[in-house]
Structure 1
Amino acid sequence: MDVTEVPAGPDGGRRPGRVGGPITLAVIVGFQLMLVVDITIVNVALPAIQRALDFSTADLSWVANAYTLAVGGLLLLGGRAGDVLGRRRVFVAGVVVFTVASLAGGFATDPGWLIATRALQGVGAALAGPSTMALIANNFREGTERHRALGVFAAVSGGGGSLGIIGGGMLTEWASWRWVMFVNVPIGLAILLLTPRFVREADRRPGRLDVTGALLSSVGLTALTYAFIRGASDGWTDPLTLGAFAATAVLLTAFAVLERRADQPILPLGLFRGWLRAGAYLNMFLLAAAMIGVFYFLTLYMQNTLSFSPVETGLGFLAMTVPMFAAARWAPQLLARLGPKRLAVVGTLPVIASMGWLTTLSDHSSFVAHLLGPLLLIGIGVGLTFMPLNAIILATVEPRDIGSASGLLQAVQRVGSSLGLAILVAVAAHAGTASFAGQAARAFQVAAVLAVLALLVTVFVVRPKPAG
């Protein structure tokens, strides 16, 4: 097995003393917000980008796909690198790459330039992203303090996309599409300046980077992500789609065999042991698959059917974002009373109700009567659900593997979103109606089923260990 030796740092055995405060949380969550916002803020600007850089319709999709492929393929490597090299160190490296790529992308003069910088943004996101939850675990004490931090993290992860829609619309309409890239630069610089002072490093785990495992996981996840992208656009029987799925099966099977034998695997397979943590991962996968439809279909519905502008569409999503942040503030207190399993059940119920309500969409629906209620419900539901699931994953994993666990969580969510979008778009395309509202309503029927499956997983699979 090919490995690269990584010596332990001089602080390898030290335990940091001071706990994190509001600035610490703002720095860590600030980068997570950049990652979430970056997806939707660029999507809103795509028409302007196409006109300015003379993109073909086929090539335009790669402005999003290049980022998705890079992130999806490298998340496990980013998580493991943080465990071995130092989570703050890898976090800073990722922020540097992301910020430089954003600056370069803002100056793009042709399609290839912009696509390359979007892929580089994905590399930075994959390096820094897995370290965010790990740094929360290292900087905030177990209990209410950490739960509050995880609540804010969950709210940002779930609701940041709507802020991207608002910001993308405003920047595109009032300035230039280039500012959807440039806006990351001052935020990234602020994070880089504040991180050394307010975010303490975790104990480094002396060890090795499994190069073979890193290559197999990165190429395998990239192939899987590409298969979903290709299948949604060119059909599930397309030769390249089938070839990508076949390559995924071979590569990830080889990866699993290798990891079982590795002394220091890039993905410790013990992360899947135990119903509690495995159930939390599966639940996050299903919720991500269901949630992606809300952003995709409702963004198009508001603009195409209700004739909302991009800015109005983003403001409409505030009906989801505001209650999501409010629910995230309540979640730590509710967690102390109900426990993680019961709180996850309570949070999943309004998500199911929201998806069911959205199945009633028609060409004559209005925002107040048919969208406001579902957006409020899904905001409350996600705000209550994500935090206890994140807490379960962090509380049941060995400290040395927190980075790998966080990388796996984000990979699970990315794959869930990609698979969910591919399934929902395929369902909408075969809905048997030319009405987009009818197609969206059919897709939300499937999203409701996915949310119900998430509830069943919580009830029957997530099994907290009995006290004592």
Structure 2
Amino acid sequence: MSMPSRPVSISSPSPKRWWALVVLALTQLVVVLDGTIVNIALPQAQQELGLSDVERQWVVTAYALAFGALLLLGGRVADYWGRKRTFLVGMLGFGVASAFGGVAQNGTELIIARGLQGVFAALLAPAALALLTVTFPSGRERNTAFAVFGTVAGAGAAVGLVLGGVLTEFADWRWCLLVNVFFVIVGLIGGIFLVKESKAEGNNRYDLLGALTVTLGLGSLVYGFSLAEHGWAQIETIGFLALGAGLLVLFVVIERRVAQPLLPLRIVTNPVRGGAFLVQAIVGSVLIGSMLYVAFHLQIVLGMDPLPAGLATLPMTLMIMVMAPVATKLLSAIGPRPLMIVGPLIAAAGLAYLSLITADGSYFVQVMPALIVVGIGMAMIFVPLQNLALTGVAPHDAGAASATLNSALQIGGSIGLSVFTALYASTVAGYDGGGSELDAFTSGYAAAFVAAAIGMVLASIIAAVFIRGSKSDLLPQGADAEASPALPVH
């Protein structure tokens, strides 16, 4: 008699599985909130450590770039090396990196720590999702588990902003990093005793050359955009952008030839999926890039303390949660294409209104209405996006497709933040409005919001061009009846 391909203990019900869900959901919360928790703390960190504006940008970019660039490899490591083992190593490394960042004495150390957080988050996130999949293999329990996991992911960004405000105002900005140590201790204990090991079977080989080229390519591209602050025509800017583009072309060539590619090209060459990935990248640029400048405007220009500033960013997240059920019903009625076209345009309108901010303006008049409108538009995008990104994907490609979607968000955010920072810096440097320094800052923030609005219009055009087909084609096998909001992993 042949042995079963999967250990019976993994798929058999266990009383520990719900406690395992708590541990895995906690992991997802840590990974997501760390994308935003430092946003509110950055003004204080910049002042204490003497960070330049570029260094300030890289505190955010280093995490998103390392996370996004290594997610695909992290998923492969988890599948091949062992998901529990990868989870525990990722958790431990994330905790050490967080502690290092919490005691950083200069900008370089803080940026390195954030990069290391991203590296270990790229191991942690796919391992946690894979463990959730094998712990709850099917049925109603699986749907419940994924609903809990997705809700935590969706709330994580908002939790990060509020928790960052609380810690920065009542303790110190360093606790925005040190607090992770407590989560990590719980995650390690729970992971050791509650989670069972599993791994993909067969002859599995790592695509190390593909991983190296895509990581260096994306890093060069993002660094080149960050250098644009000193001028788009500078030799260093052009050189790193060209190097990044060349390495990404080489990555595509490698993926076409290698037996077990890091990213099977069939995942991204499908027009619908490719369009969804491009839209996700632009959404990432807005959520990670331009929204950072909302936090700066609230604290630096409007003079809010960290906690009120964190709370002041919540209208967008709350509106996403309120509108998600409405968008889900619309998805069942009219399909994903109209939502993917109209949603970005609504978000663009909110960003355009946000660009009208003034140094002496009111939060309730100039900022909050814009965040509400952006939230409405984002809800219309998030609800169909996950389904579209996985449309027609073979089961053995589902993990890579999901990782690609999350990578698109993080890499889009990294590139977007670099571009917005360059626009902000050039606008402030060239400001001649005759006002105060705060007026100059506000003009820089407004330039970033205008660029973000243009990006969302481009996302609408991409959706109109690439996401074609009937509702039944785009949401096969009853997906419209089960659609649920795919909130982003920041």
Aligned equivalent of 1:444: 449
Residue in 1 aligned with 2:261?
Answer: 265
Code of the residue aligned with 1:285 in structure 2: it is A
**Aligned with 1:369: secondary structure?**
helix
Which one of the candidate residues 392, 414, 418 is aligned to 1:418?
414
Residues 40 and 295 in structure 2, CA contact (< 8 A), matched pair in contact too:
no
Contact 2:61 2:414 in 1 (8 A): no
Match of 1:326 among 313, 322, 325: 322
- Partners of 1:116 and 1:10 in 2: how far apart? 45
For 1:102, the equivalent position in structure 2 comes to 98
Match for residue 221 of structure 1? 218
Match of 2:488 in 1: none
Quick one: distance in 2 between partners of 1:351 and 1:419? 19
Aligned AA (1:299): A
- Partner residue of 1:377? 373
Show the counterpart of 2:311: 315
Alpha-carbon distance between aligned partners in 2 of 1:99 and 1:151, rounded to the nearest angstrom: 26
Letter in 2 for 1:81: V
- Change in 2 beyond 3 A, CA 1:117/1:385: same
More displaced 10-residue stretch of structure 1: 102-111 or 214-223 = 102-111
Change beyond 3 A, Cα 1:238–1:34: farther
1:394-433 to structure 2, matched below 5 A, reads: 394-429=390-425, 433=431
CA contact under 8 A between 1:350 and 1:380: conserved in structure 2? yes
Moved more, 39-48 or 150-159: 150-159
Provide the residue aligned with 1:358 in structure 2: 354
Counterpart for residue 212 of structure 1: 209
Residue 16 (str. 1) matches residue 11 (str. 2):
yes
Shift of 1:254: 1.8
Moved more, 42-51 or 205-214: 42-51
Query: Are the counterparts in 1 of residues 168 and 306 from structure 2 also a CA contact under 8 Å?
Result: no
Secondary structure of 2:259's aligned partner:
coil
In structure 2, give the amino acid aligned to 1:355.
L
Paired residues, number: 459
**Residue 44 of structure 2 corresponds to residue 39 of structure 1:** no
Could you tell me whether the CA contact under 8 Å between 2:65 and 2:411 is conserved in 1? Answer: no
Q: Which of 114, 117, 130 is 2:113 aligned to?
A: 117
**Residue 165 (structure 2) pairs with residue 169 (structure 1):** yes
The letter of the residue matching 1:401 is D
Once superposed, what is the RMSD of the aligned Cα atoms? Answer: 3.7
> What's the counterpart of residue 462 of structure 2?
457
Specify the code of the residue in structure 2 equivalent to 1:453. Answer: L
Aligned pair 1:235/2:231, yes or no? Answer: yes
The answer as to 2:83 corresponding to 1:78 is no
Deviation digits for residues 318-354 of structure 1 (CA, Å, limit 9, x no counterpart)? 1122222333455555544444444444644532331
How many Å separate the matches in 1 of 2:60 and 2:75? 23
- 1:159–1:320 Cα contact (<8 Å) kept: no
Is the CA contact 1:235–1:241 (under 8 Å) kept in the aligned structure 2? yes
Alpha-carbon distance in 2 for matches of 1:345, 1:385? 8
Q: Distance in 2 between matches of 1:73 and 1:201?
A: 26
Q: Which amino acid aligns with 2:419?
A: I
Shift in Å at residue 197 of structure 1? 6.7
The change in CA–CA distance for 1:63 and 1:445 in structure 2 (over 3 A counts) is: closer
CA distance in 2, matches of 1:269, 1:385: 24
**2:373 partner SS:** helix
The aligned residue for residue 283 of structure 1 is: 279
Partner residue of 2:251 out of 249, 252, 255: 255
Q: What is the one-letter code of the residue matched to 2:216? A: V
Check the 8 A contact 1:131/1:403 in 2, yes or no: no
For 1:16, the aligned partner's letter is: S
* 1:183 and 2:188 are equivalent in the alignment: no
The letter for the 2-side match of 1:217 is: V
1:305 maps to 2:287: no
One-letter identity of the residue aligned with 1:413: L
Partner Cα separation in structure 1 for residue 7 and residue 268 of structure 2: 27
Instruction: Flag the 1:138–1:235 CA change in 2: closer, same or farther, 3 A.
Output: farther
User: Secondary structure, in 3 states, of the residue corresponding to 1:176?
Assistant: coil
* CA distance in 1: counterparts of 2:151 and 2:235, whole angstroms: 40
For 1:126, the equivalent position in structure 2 comes to 122
Counterpart secondary structure, 1:266: coil
Check conservation: 2:61, 2:417, Cα contact below 8 A.
Answer: no
Q: Which secondary structure does the structure 2 equivalent of 1:236 belong to?
A: coil
Cα distance in 1, alignment partners of residues 81 and 230 from structure 2: 41
Give 3-state SS (helix, strand or coil) of 1:208's partner. Answer: coil
CA pair 348-203 structure 1, distance change in 2 beyond 3 A: farther
1:72/1:221 contact within 8 Å kept: no
Per-residue deviation, residues 159-214 of structure 1 (Å, max 9, x unmatched): 64443333223212322233112211222232334446766777615310122222
Give the fraction of aligned pairs with identical amino acids, expressed as a percent.
37
- The residue that corresponds to 1:4 in the other structure is none
1:303 Cα offset (Å):
2.0
- TM-score (ref. length: structure 2): 0.79
Residues 92/457 of structure 1: CA separation in 2 closer, same or farther (3 Å cut) = farther
| Structure 1 contact 344–384 (Cα < 8 Å) conserved | yes
Q: Helix, strand or coil: the match of 2:206?
A: strand
Question: Aligned partners of 1:109 and 1:262: how far apart in 2?
Answer: 44
Deviates further, 16-25 or 249-258: 16-25
In structure 2, the gaps of 5 or more residues are 434-438, 478-490
